Amino acid sequence: MNTTGNNNERRPQRVLVVDDDLTSREMVRLALEMNGYAVVAAAGVPAARQELTAAGFETFDCVVTDYLMPEATGLELLAWLQAKASKLATIILTGKGEKDLVADSLRGGAVDFLEKPVDLTQLRTAVSRAIAQTRQQRHNDEMRSSVAEMGRTQAWMMRAQTATVPVQVEICFHPKLEAGGDFFSHFNPEPDQYYCLLADVSGHDLRAAYWGAYFQGVVRGMAEGARSLPEILHFFNRLLVAEWNRLSQPAATTSVAVCALAMDFKHQTASVILCGTPAPVYVAPDGRAEFLADQGGSPLGWFEDFGAQSRDLSTAGAGAFLLWTDGVDDLAEKNGVHALSLGWALQQASRSGRRPEVLAAATDDILFVELLLSPAPRSPARWRPLVLERYAGGQAARIDELADAWSRSLELAVPGLDQTVRHDLLLAAREAVLNALQHGCRNDPGQSATFQIGYEPAGQRLRVWVDDPGPGHDFDLVAHENALANGLLDQHRGLVLMHRLSRALIFERHGAGVIMEFGPEPCDAKVISPAPPP
């Protein structure tokens, strides 16, 4: 007997034969029963509909129907089946001279057609093929449904945990497929302690999702057993290197890039361990941001010594951490923007319940997380870094390329920004960075300057920070501006631009540190009335 279904639920393969002609119907029925099929016969379309509805579409594997019948045609039955159970394969039987029906049948979704009188060998072959197609399509549907459910569960698990921790967490997760290898989890091993792990398993398929869940479970379990994060990461690395990756057949390396963050609320400190993910950023309450490590360390599973980078810092119980996986870096690079700008754009889209267009170019899972260290509701006047970079002293010739990336980042992150504000910021930032590289770093590739653009969404203000290791300058800028206007001097015209274009300009360390603020409106207060000709 032909059977279908898995081992626990095997049943005979069932075929519904629909024909108003008793002789023809019985001949088809006998031929199929002799081949092990369970056959249900119906004398017309209404009877067939009744049979299918009563027994359930999923109890049949194939329908064989005559075309020309008094109450309704086989094509009408086909159309009804397409609407009700499109995965149930249907074969149409046509009389001689009804060849025109073939095209209509196939267009209507029939998998095959046979001409009467039916050749029984052809019938058996066609039914066998149709049943295989039904089973395959039903299997595909089940798989799609399972995968979608897995993705929903993965997303739910990430978000559901956020309510149980004393940190405000915002997660933007966009797996490449329905579920992915990126994962974020967090918990309190002790009342005053908080652990969070952002992990990225190699690949972005279901296998990666499975490994991600396995890893998170191991971490959580070991943390409950009072193991420290370094101990847990060393253990999992050993597990991958010495066991799973050694035993896997065929040989395949599973690796897990991890950014682990442990916070101690009692002492207001944080500790970061980095194994192959992009470096996280800490944003101080005044808006200044810093990378907490150089990108580096290798993912767990590659080497016995995975060379993690670690860093301890004092948070004073305030500020925010930004963490993301390399899919964000890749997508940012594709779009020629900075990862922090992309992260902000993803958060904005997520808050408004839309899928950002920029994700269309994603080739990996996307996970971006913000952790806000504040028990109070989110303050609207918070600075958010959009660009954070370190430039070596020899990079002045790349200034156009750098400025283009700043410009694209602003366009993505602050799409409604006033064009004059944007021009002024880009020009003043260009001057500040050139000044830092050429004078502060003396064009020495061994020296470097840091650059940051921050955004304060409530006030729609933008701030630029530039810091270099040089001595700064020592002169009166306002007096210099007057001298420059009258005497057409060449010196320090960049500083004048920075002063005039920004709403506020603050020099730190004699100008080795510069802070400029812009927006929300252009800085018209500093427009100088056209002077009379000299």
Partner 1 sequence: MNATTTSDPRQKVLTLVIPGDLKSTTLPELQPEIERALSAAADHPETCQLIVVNLVATNLIDSMGLNLLARICRHAQETGARVRVVYANPHVHRTLIFTRLDRHAELVQN
Instruction: Give me the DSSP letters along 392-457.
Output: EGGGGGGHHHHHHHHHHHHHHH-TT--HHHHHHHHHHHHHHHHHIIIIISTT-TT-EEEEEEEEET
Between 66 and 468, whose beta carbon lies closer to partner 1?
468
CB of 445 to partner 1, least distance (A): 18
Query: Would you say 90 and 65 are in contact if contact means Cβ atoms under 8 Å apart?
Result: yes
Between 332 and 434, whose beta carbon lies closer to partner 1?
434
Between 370 and 481, whose beta carbon lies closer to partner 1?
481
- With a CB cutoff of 8 Å and minimum separation 6, the contacts of 486 are none
Q: How many CB atoms lie within 10 A of CB 53?
A: 10
Between 38 and 399, whose beta carbon lies closer to partner 1?
399
CB of 528 to partner 1, least distance (A): 6
Between 377 and 534, whose beta carbon lies closer to partner 1?
534
Instruction: Give me the DSSP letters along 290-333.
Output: EESS-S----BTS-SS---EEEEEE-TT-SEEEEE-HHHHHHHH
Query: Would you say 242 and 306 are in contact if contact means Cβ atoms under 8 Å apart?
Result: no
Between 362 and 464, whose beta carbon lies closer to partner 1?
464
Alpha helices in 56-95 (DSSP H): 74-84
CB of 208 to partner 1, least distance (A): 44
Rule CB under 8 A: which residues touch partner 1? Answer: 396-397, 399-400, 420, 423-424, 427, 430-431, 434, 481, 484-486, 488-490, 493-494, 496-497, 500-501, 526-528, 530-531, 533-534
Residue in 406, 519, 508 with CA at minimum distance from that of residue 466: 508
CB of 501 to partner 1, least distance (A): 6
Query: Would you say 201 and 254 are in contact if contact means Cβ atoms under 8 Å apart?
Result: yes
**What's the CA gap between 299 and 11, in Å, rounded?**
48
- Alpha-carbon distances, residue 288 vs 321, 412, 461 (angstroms): 12, 21, 14
Structure token digits, residue 260: 């682990």
Between 132 and 484, whose beta carbon lies closer to partner 1?
484
Between 257 and 466, whose beta carbon lies closer to partner 1?
466
Q: How many CB atoms lie within 10 A of CB 462?
A: 27
Query: Would you say 316 and 298 are in contact if contact means Cβ atoms under 8 Å apart?
Result: no
CB of 402 to partner 1, least distance (A): 11
**What's the CA gap between 397 and 437, in Å, rounded?**
10
CB of 502 to partner 1, least distance (A): 11
Between 314 and 486, whose beta carbon lies closer to partner 1?
486
Structure token digits, residue 16: 């519904």
Place of tokens 């020099």: 507
Structure token digits, residue 218: 């191991």
Sign of CA dihedral 342, 347, 349, 355: positive
CB of 523 to partner 1, least distance (A): 9
CB of 396 to partner 1, least distance (A): 8
Between 229 and 405, whose beta carbon lies closer to partner 1?
405
CB of 505 to partner 1, least distance (A): 13
CB of 392 to partner 1, least distance (A): 17
Residue 85 amino acid letter: A
